[in-house]
Amino acid sequence: MIATLSAPGVLHQLTGVIAQHHGDIRSVSIIEEHPADTRIYFELDLPGSEQVLVEDLQELSVVRSVSAVEPLQKIYGKRIIIMGGGAQVGQVALGAIAEADRHNIRGEHISVDTIPLVGEQSLAAAVRAVRRLPRVRALVLAGSLMGGDIETAVREVRSEGLLVISLNMAGSVPDACDLVVTDPVQAGVMAVMAVADTAKFTIERLRRRVF
């Protein structure tokens, strides 16, 4: 986590120092930006000394402070996103949170995010935006009717490797998903089981896709 002055070219200076240390940047986020200062968060693989990198970053005139923190992958781990109608989202979250708790007690790190949304364009945009979120492993679509551009968006994110689970609803979206589950609580449970390393469950080995 680096606190810097707010000025053009700051990110270029920071990444230049990281590159000199052969750091491989996995993620970067601007946490806060004010007229006078900014906080920037990096996650990176570093072959050399962490302390030396910190010292070199602190020598930059634009840097106010540098602190080494635990990566979000280790703290919050894999993310499951649930979106759709409010009532259905809540029921899917109920199953997902309960199942995630069971696995997290055993050493996993799985977090659950929800967003109630309505409307074809809003949902399609949200589905596509999931690929821009860090650490997302699965998306659950919870609603009564989804189709049109939402189906197109689902096929796009699935082609990029994202697991998509749908409730058994009207519309064409269920046909585009990896797995279709009628019961919303069970959908949340199965989403967690599909991404957890502590679960012996893979969707590819299922003999049927609709439950």
pLDDT tens digits, the chain, 211 residues: what are they?
Answer: 999 988 889 999 999 999 999 989 888 888 877 777 889 999 998 888 888 999 999 999 999 999 888 888 788 889 999 999 888 999 999 999 999 999 999 888 999 999 999 889 999 999 999 998 888 999 999 988 898 999 999 999 999 989 999 999 999 999 999 999 999 999 999 999 988 888 777 777 777 787 8
Q: Which CATH class is domain 2-69?
A: alpha beta
Residue extents of the structural domains in the chain: 2-69, 74-205
The whole-number pLDDT of residue 26 equals 87
pLDDT score at 101:
92
Report the pLDDT value the prediction gives residue 30, as an integer from 0 to 100. Answer: 86
Write out the chain in H/E/C secondary structure.
Answer: CEEEECCCCHHHHHHHHHHHCCCEEEEEEEEEECCCEEEEEEEEECCCCHHHHHHHHHCCCCEEEECCCCCHHHHCCEEEEEEECHHHHHHHHHHHHHHHHHHHHCCCCEEEEEEECCCHHHHHHHHHHHHHCCCEEEEEEECCECCCHHHHHHHHHHHCCCEEEEECCECCHHHHCCEEECCHHHHHHHHHHHHCCCCCCCHHHCCCCEC
Q: Does domain 74-205 have CATH number 3.40.50.10550?
A: yes
Query: pLDDT value at position 16?
Result: 92
pTM of the entire structure? 0.80
